Every structure is written in structure tokens, then in C-alpha cells.
Structure 1
Amino acid sequence: MADPARGRYFVVMRRFPVLVPMSQSDSAAASTSACAALFAGYPLKAHNTFGFDVRAQLACLIEHEEQLLAAVRDPRVAGLPRLVLGGGSNVVLTGDFAGLVLLVALRGRRVVREDQDAWYVEAAGGEPWHEFVAWTLAQGLPGLENLALIPGTVGAAPIQNIGAYGLEMCERFASLRAIELSTGEAVELDAQACRFGYRDSFFKQEGRGRFVITSVTFRLPKAWQPRAGYADLARELAAQGHAGSAGKADGAGLQPTAQAIFDAVVAVRRAKLPDPLELGNAGSFFKNPVIEAAQFDALKRREPDVVSYPQPDGRVKLAAGWLIDRCGWKGHAMGAAAVHDRQALVLVNRGGASGAEVLALAQAIQRDVLEKFGVELESEPVCL
């Protein structure tokens, strides 16, 4: 299969082959170790899904772990801020980045082992997430199908603890390997060390900006059961002639297959969400807020049709898209930044918008939702 992301890397680098020169002291320091290939004034438009036209002071393409170690230890970048970019699907770049951008393009995937209960599948951090999910199904390994068509890379998945349609990445996570940028040392982290939460992890808290995730190992259970309880997914499966909820058989006595769920998720997401290649966006921009039961009861009395999901701890998750839509923001624009007309959770770049404009739009939405409902919306992407 062609790798369009890798093609973009090479095309742009041929156009901007500006190697950063070494001073005499840098040359002496680098003489005993490998030196990274650095590119100055590197354009990042093709490396963020919003398509913001910004640049990196320096950039380094990471296709092998040795290149990452060379970049971390290169004396020319000592003391510079560092930014790790994979697919750029979870970041809002509000301006040029004054530092080193590490463009993670590590590739590879394999089944590393199996036991009585599960297969363990490893993928490199730069693998496109959706392609990896499709590959697991092609190998006859179900378990990730609900997470189809989520933009980004495998290495970004644990950072965000991506989730969709009743499944979170952490439920299939086994371990990961990462390089600590300050030392160049490799670490292996299990789920407990990653401290996964709702669209959250150690890497968005204390570990933010400290690591490059080079590979992730997933545990895919052999005793697989479909998860298809979400209304949109159930309707799509019913249209395909499959059961609409997990564990229930259709009229022919058959459960939906993992491939059927994958296909249904892809169809639903394509119907609701814009393609970043056609309309710049980062997918869902806001997390679904979780509130206390007492606050929900008061809100329910005022807004009987509020969309909500009870949580195991007694709290209630609200549909952020419903809150935003209720405030009248769906389809509304501020300059070239806009709320998508079919999905209020998605902010889009209609062409030429800056990261600052998208951020201003997001903040205006947050103020309105807080004023109308008393609920704070938290953004999913990192704003830089």
C-alpha cells in the first residue's frame, strides 16, 4: 500500500534541503557520536491535520530509533524546546515553533506472541492508526475495529487514550516502549504506569513533552465479543443486516463480525466527520464533560432532552456536541475558523485560518456553554 504521509515527508525535504551548519565546537562534540540530519525553517502544513501554515525552526525526520537518539544528543539542539509530531491530529499550532520538531515516521507491525487468551501485536509509533487497525483485521485479529478511522498514529493513541463507539484504547493496551528525550534512555511502561483516563494519560500530565513513544503492544482477546451498542453504529449495522447491539444475534442467528463493525464505524464517521485532507480539522475538539449526579438532575429539569450517559461511578457524561449545538454554534464561523455544519464537536479550517483563530473560536464556545449550562468544556487537542 502506498504511504502518502511518507511521500509528503520526502517531497518537502527535497524542496527544503537546508542543513543546519555546525560550529567548530559542535563538530568536535559530534565527532564521537552520530549527528542528526536537521532541516531549518521546515514547513509543518502537511504535518498537522488542521493544515495550519506554520514552520519549525528545526525539524528532524525519525524513521529509525538511531535517528531519534542522534537528534536528542545533537549539540546543535541543546536547550531548544522540542515538539513530537506524528500525524499532527491532536495539536493546534498557533504559530511557528521556535525549537526542534521531531517528525516520527517509525514503521513496522508484527504479532509478537500469543497465549491461551490473547494475541499480542506490536506496532511502531509512526504507523498510521487506521491502517494498523485494518491490518489487524486482515490478520484475523479482532479487537480494535471500533477505533477505525481515528486520525493520527499508533504512538499518539496512548497519549490521548483514544476511544470511540464503546471502546477505549486502554482496554486493548499491553505496554509501550518510549525514549526519554532528556536522557535518550529507553523505557518500557505498562498500563498502570501510563495512568490512562478519559482522553488522558501520564503523557498529557507529568510526562508531557518528555517522551517519544517508539512502539506500542496491544493485547487482542481471543474470546472476542462485538461492541455495537451506540445508536449510530447499531443503525448502520442494521442497515447492513447485522445485529444492532453487542452480544445479540440478528435474524439469521449471527452476531456482527469484527469486519462488519469496522465497516460500519467507517461509514458512520465518514457521514458525520469531514476528511482532514479536504477540510482541515482535528476530529472531536472537545471532550464530553462528566458532571456530578446532582448537577445533572438540575440540568435535566431545565433541559429534559439533554443527551447523557450514566457512568459507573454515579456521575453522568454529557454529549458536548449537543451542548454546543444548543448554544447555536453548529455551522457558525469566526473568520476562516468554523464549527462543522454536521457535527458541532468538530472545528474546521475553511481555508487560511490560523491556529489562533481556531483557538479563539473554541474559547468563545466554551464561554457560551459555561454561561448557559454551567458546564466547562475541555479541549482534546494540545494548543501550542
Structure 2
Amino acid sequence: MKDFCNYSLLKHNTFGMDVRCARFIEFSTVEELRGIVLQTERFQKPLLFLGGGSNMLFVGDFSGTILHSGIKGIETISEGDDIRLRCGSGEVWDDVVEYAVSNGMYGAENLSAIPGDVGASAVQNIGAYGSEVKDLIVNVEAVDIQTGDICKFTSNDCHYGYRDSRFKHEWKNRYVITYVTYRFSKTFEPKLDYGNIRSFLLAKGIDEPTARDLRDSIISIRNAKLPDPAIMGNAGSFFVNPVVDEKKYSALHEEYHDMPHYLLCDGRVKIPAGWLIEQCGWKGRSLGNAGVYEKQSLVLVNHGGATGAEVVALCERICEDVWKKFGIEIYPEVNIIR
């Protein structure tokens, strides 16, 4: 276990915010975590559970205690019609995808190169290119921070929705995730019809891709439009793509015939937030040291020395302009820690 006071979080958030927390505790086993939570009355409040910091924006120093998972391990626990991997919450998510592809376990290829840890994948219901991690999750193991009890939840228990789960609502600050078990298929069934995946593969002369081909292509596509946090601080997609009803979509389509959209199974329509933001003229623009990435309007970036307050101010301006132009509310996907 690691325990530090007045600890720098610079290396623990991909936005590159040079902030500190009052106390930082990293646990590497479930028993260490249980020992910690039974002593929480001794810690500075509030408590915050931090993974890889790829979905966090710190507005300033954090006055409480941060708990960080160092639980590692990828274990095959079941083989039958499918293969199940039990993964420590401190494992890097993309390392799990690489492990699966390298060992003939399929279903996560479209989720390649999404930053963050295993624990965060189960909180956020990460998704990309037509796939969501909820469709792979079998169960989530956690420790109840109020009692120290070990709990196990099925995917259905977690009430997963679009970038959403109970861990972001009534379970927030209640459970610390320790392990996630994922289900993979022994049969590769590629998903190629979202975004420009198929055209990218065809441009490379690949019409029947392997899982490795698909993973490598997803990584290349993402790298081409998303900045490297090591070079330019960012948290990936900053905003959730809004979902509107058919009536609202039809009204917008009358005016914006080229508006990209994705039909959902419930009849509603998802509209890319990046497109809305670009139509409002924000692509490549900045406020202070915070800006909108020149290659992808969904991404807010730290041009160097940006404060969390500058990023929040930029976010608020963008949301206001999208509402004025389209009558659509967009919201941050990133967790803003004040």
C-alpha cells in the first residue's frame, strides 16, 4: 500500500492539471482496501476514487483523500461457449483488449485505445465505434465503503445506459470496484459499419479483416483524430453525444440536410456533439490556454498551462452556443472535480 500527503496529481490526470490532493492512498489487494475503508473516519473528506484520470478534470487542488486501485491481474476463469477474463480494476483497459486479441478472445476490438483503467470501464460504460463495454461485462466486484463488505453485481444490476451506470448515481462514492469479469467470444464477428472503419480497411486493401487488423485500424483512426495526452493534455471526448426524439430530429433535418445521425433501437436519434460544436464555429478556437482540438471538435485540450477553470469556462461557452443554435443541450462526459 502507498500513502502520501500533499500529493501531486500531475501524473494522474490526462488533462495535465498541476494540482495536489491532501492525501493519496493506493491499494493493491482487496484486503488492503477493506482495511482502508474501515478507517475512513481518519481520512480527510471528501473521498474520491481515481483510476487512470483519463475522464477527470480537476478545477483546483483536491482537499480530500483519493483512493487509487493498484489491483492487477488478468485471469481466465471460464471456458465453454465463451471465455471469461477476471481483471483487476487497476489494469489498463487497452492492455486487456490487447491480451484478448492476442489470445483468440473476441468482442472488444472496437473498444481499442480507449484510455483508462478496468475499474473506470465499468463505471463509465465506455464505448466507441458501435460497441459498449456493458455487452462484455459479466459481473463487477466491489467493496462497500460504508461497511467493508465485498459485493458482486451482475451487468443488469448496474443499470448500464449510454455512458452511464448506477456507479455514477446512487452508487457514487459508495462502492470501490476491485475486479471486473468480461465475456469474450471464441468466434470473431467484426463490426465494421460504424464511422469510417470499413473504408479505412478497404483503403489498406483489407476486405476480410482479422481481429488484429480491426484493432490496429481502430488505433490508427483514433490516433489520427485524438491528440496524445503526453503532448497535449486532454480527456478524449469531452461531451456526451446528445440523443433527441424523432420530432426534434426531423425539425433539425429540414434545416440541416447533411447533419450526421445514428438511429437508436428505441426510435430516438443520436447526433454527434462534435458536429454541433463545429457548426457553432468552435473547431480550433481557444479561450485562454484551453481550446477545441483542431482535428476533432469533441475534444477540449490544454495548450499548456491551462487551469481547470479555463476549461470549464470554455465548456460552458460551447454548451451555450449549441443551445442557442440548435436548441439541444450537450453535457460533459468528463467528471469535473471542483
TM-score range, shorter chain: over 0.9
Q: How does 1:304-315 map onto structure 2 within 5 Å?
A: 304-315=257-268
Q: In structure 1, which of residues 193, 202, 211 is the aligned counterpart of residue 157 of structure 2?
A: 193
Q: Tell me the amino acid that sits aligned with residue 200 of structure 2.
A: E
* Partner Cα distance (1:238, 1:88) in 2: 35
In structure 1, how many angstroms separate the alpha carbons of the residues matched to 2:323 and 2:105?
A: 43
1:212 match: secondary structure = strand
1:128 aligns to 2:81 (yes or no): no
Structure 2 letter corresponding to 1:197: G
- Please state how far the C-alpha of 1:86 moved relative to its aligned partner: 1.1
Match of 1:351 in 2: 304
Task: Report if aligned partners of 2:21, 2:61 keep a CA contact under 8 Å in 1.
Answer: yes
Aligned-residue offset at 1:75: 5.8
How far is 1:78 from its partner? Answer: 4.7
1:219 maps to 183
Counterparts of 1:38 and 1:274, CA distance in 2: 32
Counterpart of 1:141 in structure 2 is 105
Give me the TM-score of the superposition, normalised by structure 2: 0.97
Describe the SS at the equivalent of 2:48.
Answer: strand
Task: Give the residue type in structure 2 aligned to 1:322.
Answer: W
Q: Residue 57 of structure 1 aligns with which residue? A: 22
Go from structure 1 to structure 2 and tell me whether the alpha carbon gap of 1:234 and 1:37 turns closer, same or farther (over 3 Å shift): closer
Instruction: Indicate whether 1:168 and 2:168 are aligned.
Output: no
Question: What is the aligned counterpart of 1:101 among 66, 70, 86?
Answer: 66
Q: Report SS of the residue matched to 2:171.
A: coil
Question: In the TM superposition, what are the counterparts of 1:1-384 in structure 2 within 5 Å?
Answer: 38-74=3-39, 77-78=42-43, 80-115=45-80, 117-243=81-207, 255-384=208-337
Between the aligned partners of 1:37 and 1:77, the Cα distance in structure 2 is: 16
Two-structure CA RMSD over aligned residues (Å)? 1.3
CA distance in 2, matches of 1:239, 1:361: 37
Partner-residue secondary structure (3-state), 1:84:
strand
Q: Secondary structure, in 3 states, of the residue corresponding to 2:31?
A: helix
**Deviations for 1:243-284, whole angstroms, at most 9, x for unmatched residues?**
3xxxxxxxxxxx311111100000000000001111111000
Q: What amino acid does structure 1 have at the position aligned with 2:297?
A: A
Structure 1 contact 161–201 (Cα < 8 Å) conserved: yes
Give the C-alpha shift of residue 74 in structure 1: 2.5
Any conservation in 2 of the 1:108–1:124 contact (CA below 8 Å)?
A: yes
Q: What amino acid sits opposite 1:302 in the alignment?
A: E
Q: Does the 8 A contact of 2:23 with 2:44 survive in 1?
A: no
Contact 1:54/1:95, CA 8 A, preserved across alignment: yes
Aligned counterparts of 2:40 and 2:298: Cα–Cα separation in 1: 43
SS in 2 for 1:38: strand
Provide the rounded CA distance (Å) in 1 between the counterparts of 2:282 and 2:40: 48
- For 1:233, the aligned partner's letter is I
Alpha-carbon contact 1:86-1:105 (below 8 Å) kept: no
Q: Partner of 1:192: helix, strand, or coil?
A: coil
**What is the aligned-residue identity percentage?**
43
SS at match of 2:114: coil
Maintained 8 Å contact 2:51/2:68: yes
The structure whose RCO (Cα within 8 Å, separation 6+) is larger is 2
SS at match of 1:146: helix
How many Å separate the matches in 2 of 1:94 and 1:83?
14
- How many positions carry a matched residue from both structures? 337
Q: Alpha-carbon deviation of 1:37? A: 5.0
AA matched with 1:95: G
Distance in 2 separating the partners of 1:239 and 1:130: 25
Contact map agreement 2:245 2:268 (CA 8 A) in 1: yes
Unaligned runs of 5+ in 1: 1-35, 244-254
Matched-pair contact (CA < 8 Å) for 2:104–2:186: no
